[in-house]
Structures are given as C-alpha cells and as structure tokens.
Amino acid sequence: MASTIEERYLQLHPKSSLMSDKSVDLFPDGVTHDGRKFSPFRVYMDHGLGPRKWDIDGNEYIDYRTGHGAMILGQAHPAIVKAVSEQVAKGTHLSASTENEVRWGTLVKELVPSAERLRFVSSGTEAMMMTFRMARSHSGKSKIVKFEGAFHGWADGPFVGAANDSPEGGIPPQVRETMIVLPYDIAAVERTLDEDDDIAAVVFQGNQVIHPSFLEQLRDVTRQKDVILIFDEVVSGFRFSRGGCQGLYNVIPDLTGMAKILAGGLPGGCVAGRADIVNTVSPGRIAHPGTFNANPLSSAAGAAALELVANEPINATADARAQQLKNGLNELLTKMEIPGCAYGVSSIVHMRLGVPHECDKVYCEAGEQAMMTAAGDDTTHLLNQATINEGIWGNPTSFILSATHSEADVNLTLEKYETALGQVRAEGKI
C-alpha cells in the first residue's frame, strides 16, 4: 500500500510517469545514469535557471544536485549561455586546435597548484583513466592503491572497490589484480608501500570528507616511498576552493584529475600535474587521440566559467550558503529531537540521520567515512520522495550548493525540509 507521501508524488508527476514508462523500453533500468534511478518512477526535468529547476509537469524545485556538482554557477548562467551560443554559431567541432583551449588551459594552470602541464579529455572518468596510465608509464610499475568505497569513474581499474562494485560487473580478474583497496588508514598505506615494490600511485577522492591531517600524512608517505600521489578532483576541483581540495588544504599531489566545474557544465575533463609525468603523453609512450578533447563548446564554456571562479567570489558565496544550510539543519535536528548531524566541507553539506553522536560538524567521523546517511534505505527513499514533493531537488542527505542560492532559498529549504521530516515521522520512519 502506497504511503501518503508516495500518493502525493504520483499526483504531482503524471507526465513524468508516462515518460518513465517509455524509457524502460529504451534504457537499462530506464535511465542513462545510475544515479537517476528512482521509485516508483523518475522525474523528468525541462529547464533550469540559477538555483531553480522545473520538471515537465511544471513543478518548481530548489536544486541541490546542481548537475552532479558541475553547476557552481547555477543553471543557464548568462556568461556561459553567451559563450556557448557564440561558439555554436562559429562551429561545434573544427577538428583543429583553437584559441579557447589555450585560454582554458591557462586558467587551469593559474588556479590549480599542481598544474605544471595539463591534457584535456572529455569526462571525469577519462581523466582518472589517464592519471592511472600516466603514473604507470612514468614509474614503470603497474599497481594503484585506492581507498574503500571511493568512486573514480566507471572504467575498469578505477571502479574496483567502489561502493557498488560487483564481481559480475565485467571487470577482468587481471585488472582487479592491478588495484589495491585499503581503508583510510595511514599505517595500512605505509605497510602496503613497504611490502609491494610494484605500486605506481596512490589515489585519493578529493571530495571525501576527512580531516586534512590524513592528506598531509598521505603526501609525506608517498613522497618518502617515491610513489606518485593522485588527487581525484572531479567534484572538489574549483569547488573546495579556487584551487580545489589541494588549494584548500595546501597538500599538492603529483597528478590531478578534474571535470564538472572545469567545463562550465558541459562535458570535459583534464589531467594536470608535474610536467615530467604529464609529458608521458608523447610519441613512443602514451598515445592520446580523442575526438572531443578540448572541443570548441566545452573550451568556450570552461574558459568562461573559470574566469568567473578566478575573478568573482563564487566559492565564498556558495560556501556561505552551505554554512547557513548546515547550521539550519543541525538546529532542525535538535528541535525535532532526531539523532544525527549535518556536516561537510566548503559548499557541500552531508547528513547523518539516526546516529546519536557528537562531532565538529565538519569532518564527522561517526561511523563509515562514506558520504552518506546512516538511516535505512527505506527511510532515505521516503524522505527523498517527501523532499521532492516539497520542491527540494537532490539527495535528501547530501546537498551541493551553487553561488546562485540565496539566503531566502536556504531559509525556504529549511522550512520545506522540516515539513518533509515531519511527514516521514508520521509514517513511523524517524
């Protein structure tokens, strides 16, 4: 029997229900991204502006998924619209180098501390694939150390050990043997590097919420053992600070993979880092074609976006709104006597629900390091339905903010979130 929350969800989204029915005959699981699976059906979006989005049924939402973290400038930012529109009129693929790719690359080098040299690719997954290959080519070694549950894209090697990795996921055993998955434990890292002399690199997911002392120790250990340190800054790049996670914590890796904000909300990624490692892309070593590398549209959008990040208080504004949301959520949990916390770094806010604990509301370590709620799946799903019904879009335990969210948007979000929590509680779930 459907809950009151689900019944309202069905009433609000009749067109999305019909579109979802059509999609199941086209796509596996009816979606084109695993993160868009939803029950009883998916909501289909029509357009967005700033911090707001509207679905095909006309429902309005305050957006906290922000293009999976890519839209720190909000939806349809005028500078991005202008840059892309002008480039579309000039051509979408000129099969040659362009002035904009130089402009774009120069901004990356100016903003990212590790960026002595860089190479553009078409996505975050490609960026992390390339960091692994560069590390192996430079070191002559084959294994990569990563951390439990970390996501570095869907390619074979990087995906090993991800939260939803499966033995039947099509990754060959020979590839799995090149990956070493460790807990977030410096002693385990040091021991592994001591015992295995075939390790090319250690990779860290930059948006993982962990005390910066861990990164400082990780940098020290990898430097002592002469092992390459890779930061996956696909999400944290240009968000945790203008210079990403490494800029915020002043811990400089050897290689950095980036995407999302990098390309202004269009497809695009890059690898940046030490010149001697990046220069392994050269004749006789790493060959790197790619039809859409630094394509004109992404180059135009990316350069426009990074100029705004470099010259306007984009990060400070998004961070301030995230702090306002985090404070408000923690007050709300106290008021409603719900165990848990809101925590997080920069402009991303995570929540833990149903876990009585004390923490600093930044690097909460109450339980697993994974950036997710501790509440049961049923509770989280019902809360997601309830927040969607109330006009809040995104994961109800993880909020990614933009510089276009206003104080009023956050205040309204807190009101709507309190209503949603009350509805879930009425269903006996909190």
At 334-357, the pLDDT tens digits run 999 999 999 999 999 999 988 888
* Confidence at residue 370, expressed as pLDDT on a 0 to 100 scale: 42
Average pLDDT over residues 22-30: 94
Q: Which residue has the higher pLDDT, 36 or 136?
A: 136
Q: What pLDDT shows up at residue 369?
A: 47
pLDDT single digits (tens) 81-129: 999 999 999 999 999 999 999 999 999 999 999 999 999 999 999 999 9
Res. 368: pLDDT tops 60? no
Does pLDDT of 367 surpass 80?
no
pLDDT computed for residue 429 by the predictor: 85
What local confidence, expressed as pLDDT, does residue 372 receive?
44
Choose which CATH entry (3.90.1150.10, 2.160.20.60, 3.40.50.2020, 3.40.50.720) describes domain 4-75+313-426. 3.90.1150.10
- Per-residue pLDDT averaged across 145-166, rounded? 95
pLDDT of residue 64: 98
Q: How confident is the model at residue 132 (pLDDT cuts 50, 70, 90)?
A: very high
Q: Are 200 and 141 in contact (CB under 8 A)?
A: yes
**pLDDT score, position 1:** 72
Which pLDDT score, from 0 to 100, does residue 428 have? 86
Residue 355: burial class (beta carbons within 10 Å; 0-12, 13-18, 19+): middle
DSSP H or E segment with residue 199? strand 199-205
Burial of 286 (C-beta count, 10 Å sphere; 0-12/13-18/19+)? middle
Closest-CA residue to 305 (of 254, 271, 262): 262
Are 4-75+313-426 and 78-311 in the same CATH fold? no
Mean of the per-residue pLDDT values for the chain? Answer: 95
Query: Does 189 have pLDDT greater than 60?
Result: yes
In the chain, pLDDT over 90 holds for what percent of residues?
A: 92
Q: What is the mean pLDDT of residues 51-69?
A: 98
- The pLDDT assigned to 374 comes to 53
Average pLDDT over residues 133-162: 97
DSSP for 118-170?
EEEESSHHHHHHHHHHHHHHHHS--EEEEETB----SSHHHHTTBTT--TTSS
- The domain locations on the chain are 4-75+313-426, 78-311
CATH of domain 78-311: 3.40.640.10
The CA distance from 146 to 149, in Å, is: 9
Q: Is the pLDDT of residue 162 over 50?
A: yes
Amino acid 412 reads: L
Q: For the whole model, what pTM was predicted? A: 0.96
Largest pairwise CA distance in the chain = 65
Task: Assess whether pLDDT exceeds 90 at residue 143.
Answer: yes
